[in-house]
Each structure stands twice: as C-alpha cells, then as structure tokens.
Amino acid sequence: RYANLGGSVFLYFAIKVRTGGEGAECGSSSDGHDASVVEKTYYNKMLYVQYNSTWGNVTGSTKMARKAADILNTYYYLRGIRETLELCKTWITRAYSILAQKVEPKVRLRLTKAPADSEHPATLVCSVYNFYPKEILVTWLKNGERVTSEVTSTDSLPNGNWLYQRHSYLKYTSTHWDKISCVVEHPSLEKPRIYDWEPTPESVKNKFILGTMGLIVGLVSFAAGLIYDRRNVPGK
C-alpha cells in the first residue's frame, strides 16, 4: 500500500526478515531514501517487542520484554535488520518503477433503453476499462459543447489487478442532427481522446430498410397514378 505523507510518497509492503522469519513493515520514498523498517512481535495478542530503524534498536513493552530487547540488541540481530533495510530500499525502488508505468484506457460506448415511463427513452454509457493510474476525466460533448446536466459517473473502481474502470452515463433523447461524444483524459494519453456515438449497425440497417421501402412505395404509387391518368385522357 502507499500513502502521501507531508508531500512525500511512501510505499509500504510486507517482507520476511532473517530473524525468525517474522514479517516487517517496510517504507521508503520513491528513490529509496528515507527508508524505514518496523518489526513488531506480539505475545498473547499484545505487543511484546518492536524494532524501528528510526530509533536504531529494539524496545520492549514490559519488564520481561525489555530484558528480551536487551538480548536482541546485539550486533548480529541489528546487522540482519540493517540488511533488511537495504533490501527494503531495493524493492521499494523496483515497486515504484512498476507504479510509474501508465496503461492506456479502453473505451466502449453503448446505448441502454430506459423504462417506458422515463422522461428520456435511453441512456448513453461511456465505459472506460483497464487504465492506470486511477486519475481520469470522462466528459460528454453535444455538438462540440460540454454537457453538464443529465450526467452521472462512478468513481474509478479497482479491478483487483492494479487497473481501474469508470463509467459515465448520459440521459439521451435521439435526434438526427445532434452529435454526441465521450471525451477521455488520462495521464497515459498525450491529448484527450474523443469517441463519437454512432447508431448501432442494426439500427442503421433498419432505417435503411424502412427508407428503401418508403421509396419503393412512393415510386409504385407515382407509377400507378401516371397509368391511371393516361387511361383517363380523352381520345386514348
């Protein structure tokens, strides 16, 4: 896990130390400096002894624990802890190099139908998947102008694999002349990416079929009208 403390970012993770295989908490800045190791030993669910590299020695919480701490404050034990501290610096630096990588988001636009009694017949969904880091901005454009009303969004949701996803929803009323777009801004992108909403191929196909049928009906009616008129012309 990592945290921002006083403007400096520290990363913490569990490692195994040489002394008894106990776990230690290791923290460091991204460059490996200001590293610290804290090892705690519990007895009957109570803190018994602990080592903090900032203090440089082992301390005990009770009289008996303090005697144990005096024994542990030997050259061999402290040398092992110092080696653990160096290991901490190495792994922290590697971990930060991984965290510094950026993963471009994948975007999907889709339309969901609303209930029959809804004010808007449908909702446009802009889903952004598998991006890192979690900071991202997802907005909507209507004919080039930013849309601020009828918009809701989720937070950046963790996938569980260091990647994130976010979803933005726009209440949508279909019109032929409006151009709707989803805009995604992320550190992995050199500039904002714009994804235009286009009707699904099926809806386009249906509109084409309806238009073609209307044209055919119109032509048939026009031809029938011409034939009827010619038959009713005097002298024919």
Residue 155 pLDDT greater than 80, yes or no: yes
Q: Where are the domains of the chain?
A: 2-99, 106-201
pLDDT tens profile 35-64: 777 878 888 888 888 888 778 888 888 898
Structure tokens at 80: 């092992």
The CATH number of 2-99 is 3.10.320.10
Helix (H) or strand (E) holding 104: none
Q: Which residues contact 141 (CB under 8 A, 6 or more apart)?
A: 147, 179, 180, 181, 182, 183, 194
Residue 28 pLDDT greater than 70, yes or no: no
Report which of residues 5 and 29 the model is more confident about: 29
Q: Which CATH architecture has domain 106-201?
A: Sandwich (2.60)
- Pairwise CA distance, residues 95 & 208, whole Å: 55
- Give residue 213's pLDDT: 62
**104 within 8 A of 134, measured Cβ to Cβ:** no
Residue 128 pairs in a beta bridge with 107, 166
